[in-house]
Chains A and B, each alone.
Chain A
Amino acid sequence: MVVGSKKHKICRNIFITLGVIIVLIPPLFVFWWMFTSALKTPVDILSPVPKLIFTPTWDNFKEVLQQENFLRYMWNSLVIATFATAIALVLGLPAAYSIAKYRQQKLALGILVARMIPFVSYLLPWFIFFRKLNLIDTYLALITTHLIITLPMTIWLMIGYFEDVPDDLEEAAMVDGCSRVRSFLTITLPLVRNGVVASAILSFIFSWNQFLFSLILSGPRTKTVPVAVFNFISFEQINWGGLSAAATLIVLPALILTLIIQKQIVRGLTMGAVKG
């Protein structure tokens, strides 16, 4: 860009500062509202003039954690999301590698279709299926169904990373008598480790957030947090404090994960879309 006069520069700075503020308000406001509502008493939350200054209370969090067995549900979500992610990596990495290396475009699209099927259509068939196998309310059933989210996502994201690995590296290794499998495991995989981390975290987050499957296939032993958070639309009234506290607790892990590996996520997300 052309560097203008000093005046121009000041104008640009004002413009950018204003822009930054405007751009940041919408996302931050909603989260800020959620966090602060979680710290308010029922009367403060429903105050017609939003209270900026209030005495924070941990009662809502206490209520959530005590009454609803929330930690257990967090643990369930953690177990399910972790296994769904791990299995997706084991199955998905070789598949993505093959698609990238052998240009199996049709396969790539076929896999995407699996992700595109409306989730509603899975509910009843899966319930009947898992009941026959006596697997309702088991981690196995939930992990298996969550693969529908994690596996296509892993494959789709990793294709881009594998395409970026120059062919000559592997070819050089193969000339040295290295097998293809070995070169995949020892040369290519380490090169795409950022991508592996990105797809793992994204898979984890989307599995963590999944609502519909867990509602139908989980039971008392395997209930996940999104289902539990729904219990805060309690029978009798709007428990806005408890709702906000529960929402905060469920959103927080996803946000922290995002923060930790934000660069890889950005790359991972853009990969599939920009290439092609």
Chain B
Amino acid sequence: MPDWALIPWKVVSSFMRAGAVANKAEVKTGIWHKLFTHFDQHLNWYFPLPAILALAAIVAFPMVYNIWLSLHDWFLVSPIGPQWVGLQNYVQMFQDPKFWTTFWRMLYFIVGALAVQVPLGLLLALFLNQEFRARNLIRTIYLFPFAATPVAIALVWGMMFNPELGVLNYFLELFGLPRSLWIASEKWVIPSLILVDSWEWTPLIMIITLAGLQSLPKQPYEAAVIDGASSWQIFRYITLPLIRPTLVVATMLRSIDLIKTFDIIYVMTQGGPGEASETLYLYTYKTGFQFFHMGYGAALVVFVFALVLVFNLVLARVRR
């Protein structure tokens, strides 16, 4: 282990020693004791401080740099360096038809994915909320999709989607259904990507919702059964309202991740066919790292960040 990795441990252990010393009633003076007492009484400051400093160091620099960059015009391969242009990149952004098409496409992707994942996750959770033997097995297996490396998973789905050689079309035909072009069709590429994303992430919604279901109070149900309510009525008027906050939180968490969906789209379609799966996030990446418009790319990054922030604030409000 390198030396620098040991520093936090040294700090912790020296404080522990100081704590042990301070504990002995006879040693209540001296600089160590004073320092320790100060530290101990301001844990709300000192405990989060290292984490905050670390995060600030890793996060602050790129953010500041991006904002600075977004106020410049910089074509990376041009001999001229960054040129100050003020807010021009932002003006250009809202006039850029590609910005809007990729923005709406991203919304389509997000809404579509949520429309699949939230009801499906709820359904699965309701099913697993029953008592039966295979329950734990299912729950365990449902951890696999989002623990598996997205790049690898996307590559495997890419193979299965191949319209001529892939296994999915074979199954469609087996059941007498027409073949699909999957990610090779402009119409079906987003639904196909939603399928992959849902395969990966519906389990998370299921697990969160299941935990929510299991923490629900018992009394309303007992009362309802006595009143002779039907299963549907119980679900509609008791379970759903009670589970709603959990679902909303899960939805918000997913939304934030959906905005930033990169790995699966990048690996499977690179935004194609044509531009049918180019979402705002992918457009941002392309603008910066394929077309080298660093200033404009940075403006797009700032916009995506602002969008995520808004979702995050909504999430905060909901949680409260």
Contacts and interface: CB of A to CB of B under 8 A. Distances in A.
Given A24-B141, A121-B62, A258 B44 contact: no
B304 A229 contact: no
Contacts of A265: 143
A219 interface: no
Interface stretch (B20-28, B99-107, B111-119): B20-28
B165 A46 contact: yes
B58 A181 contact: no
Residue of B132, B152, B167, B246 with most chain A CB atoms under a 10 A cut-off: B152
Contact of A254 (B48, B142, B149, B319): B149
A181 B19 contact: yes
Interface in B38-64: 39-41, 43-44, 46-48, 50-52, 54-55, 58-59, 61-63
Contact of B249 (A177, A232, A273): A273
A60 to B, nearest CB: 13
A155 interface: yes
A148 B43 CA distance: 23
A58 interface: no
Interface string A45-87: 0101110000000000000000000000000000000010011
B127 A255 contact: no
A141 B319 CA distance: 35
Given A147-B58, A274-B211, A91 B8 contact: yes
Interface of A: 2, 16, 19-20, 23-24, 26-28, 30-31, 33-34, 37, 46, 48-50, 83, 86-87, 90-92, 94-95, 97-99, 101-102, 104-105, 107, 109-114, 116-126, 128-129, 140, 144-145, 147-148, 151-152, 155, 177-182, 184-185, 205, 208-209, 211-212, 225-226, 229-230, 232-233, 238, 240, 243-244, 246-247, 250-251, 254-255, 257-259, 262, 265-267, 269-270, 273-274, 276
Given A50-B170, A255-B144, A273-B249, 14 more contacts: A26-B199, A30-B157, A99-B48, A101-B43, A105-B320, A112-B312, A120-B304, A121-B298, A123-B288, A181-B36, A182-B20, A185-B16, A247-B149, A247-B152
